[in-house]
Amino acid sequence: MGVKSDYREDETRRELKYVSRETNTMIGVNKCPVCGSQKMEVFLELKDYFLTGESFEISQCIECGFKFTNPVPRETDLPKYYESDEYISHSNTSKGLINGIYQSVRKHSIKKKVKIATSNLARGEALDIGCGTGDFLKEMLNSGWNVKGIEPNNTARNRAIKNYGLDIYNELQLFEFRENSFDVITMWHVLEHVYNLERDLARIKMILHKEGRLVIALPNADSLDAAIYKNFWAAYDVPRHLYHFNQSSFKRLMGKYGFEIIETKPMVFDSFYISMLSEKYKRGKINYLNAFFNGLKTDIYGLINKKYYSSLIYVLRMKNS
Ligand SMILES: [Zn+2]
C-alpha cells in the first residue's frame, strides 16, 4: 500500500520538476525521444564541464530506460555551446598532449573506419554527415568512392573544401539530395548531436539506397568508464550531446525506421581519450596514470561484454533487404 502512494508522490514531483525546467533559453523534453513515454525521472545532475559550466540534467525514461539531456537549449541558442577553438572535432591543431594523442589516434582510426564502412561493398556513392574537416571523406575518396559531406560548422566545412576540394554542404542539403542517392551513409559521433532526430532519421532513410549501409558511431552510456566517472564522464558532453544511447535504446530507435543492426564494433581508443577528458573535468587536471588505467580496464571489460566499451560503431541495413 505504501509503495503505491509513494509512486504517486514521485510522479507529482517529476511533473513539478518538468514545469520548473522551462525557461527562456531552455526547452523541457516532455516525452521520451525513443518510445514516446511521458514517464521519466532524473538520472544525473551534471555540468557543461567543457565550455560554459552551466548545469544540466539527464532524464531517464521509466518505460524504456533511454537517457536524454533535459532540458535542452533552444535550437537558436545551440551554436553558443560550440563556440570554442578547442572543439577538436572541428580543428586540426596539435596543441597539448590530449589533442596530440587524439589527432594521431584519429589518423589510425580513419583507415579502420573506411574498412568498416566499405567492407564487401562495390565502390559507389558515400555521404558523411557531420564530416568535420573531411579527413574520413578524403580517405574514402582515396579508396575510390565518390564522396559528399554535410557539416553545419562553417569553419570546419570551409577547411574541408579548401584542404581537400571536397563537396561539402551545410545541414540544409540533407533535404536536397534525391531519394536512394547513397550506398553508404556514415555518422561518426554525430547522431547524439542531432536536434531534430525524427525528421533527420526519416530523411536519412529516404536518401539511402534500399540495400545501402548506414554506419553510426556513438558514445555508449552503459560503458564502464561512464560508471566510473559518473557526472564527470566526458562523453555525456551536455548540452551538445542530447541523447545518451546504449545498445538496446539505439536498436529500438532504429527499428522504428526499419533498420536492423548487422554488426557492432568497439572504438577501443575512445576509452583512453574519454578517460583523460573525464579526469580533467573531475580533478581540474589530468591524472594520466588513472586515465590510462581506467581506459584499459574499460577495454578489458569490453572484451568480455561489448556493453562495457566506451564507444560503439553500429553497422545497419534496412530489414528484409
Ligand atoms: Zn522511452
Summarize pLDDT for 280-290 with one digit per residue, the tens.
999 998 899 99
Q: If you search the block for the grid coordinates 513539478, which residue do you land on?
A: 16
Dist CA 213 CA 171 (whole Å): 20
The more confidently predicted of residues 88 and 259 is: 259
For residues 125 and 5, which has the higher predicted lDDT (pLDDT)?
125
Residue-level pLDDT at 94: 52
Type and span of the H or E element at 276? helix 270-283
Distance 290 CA to ligand 1 centre (A): 35
Rounded mean pLDDT of the chain? Answer: 89
Grid coordinates representing 274? 574519454
State in Å: Cα 88 to ligand 1 middle. 32
Distance 70 CA to ligand 1 centre (A): 13
Q: How far is the CA of 69 from the centre of ligand 1 (A)?
A: 13
Confidence of residue 18 (pLDDT cuts 50, 70, 90): very low
Q: Which of 72-86, 127-141, 167-181, 238-252 has the lowest mean pLDDT?
A: 72-86
Judge residue 148's burial from the number of C-beta atoms within 10 Å of its C-beta, 0-12 exposed, 13-18 middle, 19 or more buried.
Answer: buried
Half-sphere exposure of 45 (CA within 13 A, CB side): 3
Ligand 1 centroid to residue 263 C-alpha, Å: 24
Q: What average pLDDT does this structure show over 216-243?
A: 97
CA of 253 to the centre of ligand 1 (A): 10
Distance 40 CA to ligand 1 centre (A): 8
CA distance 278 to 272: 10
Instruction: Give residue 46's pLDDT.
Output: 96
Kindly indicate the confidence band of residue 96, based on its pLDDT and cuts at 50, 70 and 90: confident
pLDDT (tens digit, 9 = 90+) per residue, 115-142? 999 999 999 999 999 999 999 999 999 9
Block residue for cell numbers 568512392 = 145
C-alpha dihedral (63, 66, 67, 69), degrees to nearest 10: -90
Distance CA 150, CA 121 (A): 22
Ligand 1 centroid to 35 CA: how many Å?
4
The pLDDT value recorded for residue 88 is 46
First to last CA, the chain: 51
Query: According to the model, what pLDDT value does residue 87 have?
Result: 60
Distance CA 97, CA 161 (A): 28
Range of lowest pLDDT (29-43, 90-104, 128-142) = 90-104
Q: What's the CA-to-centroid distance between 59 and ligand 1, angstroms?
A: 10
> Per the structure block, which three cell numbers stand in for 15?
511533473
Beta bridge partners of 55: 47
Q: Tell me how far apart the 2 most distant CA atoms of the chain are, in Å.
A: 68
Kindly give the distance from the C-alpha atom of residue 33 to the centroid of ligand 1, in angstroms, as a whole number.
7
How far is it, in rounded angstroms, from Cα 316 to Cα 254?
A: 9
Ligand 1 centroid to 26 CA: how many Å? 21
Task: Report CA(11)–ligand 1 centroid distance (Å).
Answer: 16
- Tell me what the mean pLDDT of segment 216-234 comes to: 97
Ligand 1 centroid distance, CA of 133 (Å): 34
DSSP string, 84-123: -TT-GGG-----SHHHHHHHHHHHHHHHHHHHHHHTT--S
> Domains of the chain (ranges plus CATH)?
2-81 (2.20.25), 95-229+256-318 (3.40.50.150)
| String of DSSP letters for 219-264 | E-TTSHHHHHHGGG-GGG-TTT--EE--HHHHHHHHHTTTEEEEEE
Q: Does the pLDDT at position 227 exceed 70?
A: yes
pLDDT at 12: 47
